[in-house]
Amino acid sequence: MLFAALLLATTPAPEPCAGKGTALYVNATERVLWLCESGRAKDSLPVALGRGGVNKRVEGDAKVPLGEYPLGWPRISKAYHLFIPVGYPTPSQRRKGFSGGAIGVHGPIKGYGGPITTAIDWTLGCIAVGSDDEIGRVADWVRTTRAHRIIIEE
């Protein structure tokens, strides 16, 4: 029993970005956004997700889509400081009847922020980090690495 405990204590945690290349990666179960560069984690941030959960199918369900999507270029947002568009639904999903749009990665609603921002799921289907500084770091990383995709998994 002691040997097993020691083995577990010395076994490194699996690399969350392994096999993901350069991309934003969201682990929806753990509520963490990873900045993956060449398959290695460069940074991670806690996030809030859609108040409806995950596996978006229709507009208005307040769910975060699962899958791999193209990322747009970060842009200024009146409501959230910065907004990084997520290409949901894909053309294939649209043909299957998926609907909605305006999904992205953003910061808190202007005037709010801090740990409370990621303590509960409150968005209408987006991924929200906890502060303007955090979304600034993510946007700078996207621009610098020219990351062009996001992977969202449970």
Residue 119 lies in a domain: yes
For residue 11, give both structure tokens.
């076994």
Assigned domain for 92 exists: yes
What is the domain count for the chain? 1
Question: What strands, in cross-sheet order, belong to the sheet with 75-77?
Answer: 75-77, 81-85, 104-106, 127-128
Position 6 scores a pLDDT of 44
Q: Is residue 6 domain-resident? A: no
pLDDT of residue 14: 81
Q: What is the DSSP letter of 45?
A: E
Render pLDDT for 35-90 as a digit per residue (tens, 0 to 9): 999 999 999 999 999 999 999 999 999 999 999 999 999 999 999 999 999 999 99
**What is the mean pLDDT of the segment spanning 99-120?**
89
7-16, 24-33, 37-46, 69-78: least confident range: 7-16
Phi and psi for 3 in degrees, rounded to 5?
A: -60, -45
Quote the distance between the C-alpha of residue 7 and its chain's center.
32
Give the domain extent around 52.
Answer: 17-153
Flag whether 83 is in a domain: yes
Is residue 112 situated within a structural domain? Answer: yes
Q: What is the pLDDT averaged over residues 141-149? A: 97
Whichever domain contains 101, its CATH number is 2.40.440.10
Residue 11 in any domain: the answer is no
Q: Is residue 25 part of a domain?
A: yes
- Average pLDDT on 14-22 reads 95
In a domain, 9, yes or no: no
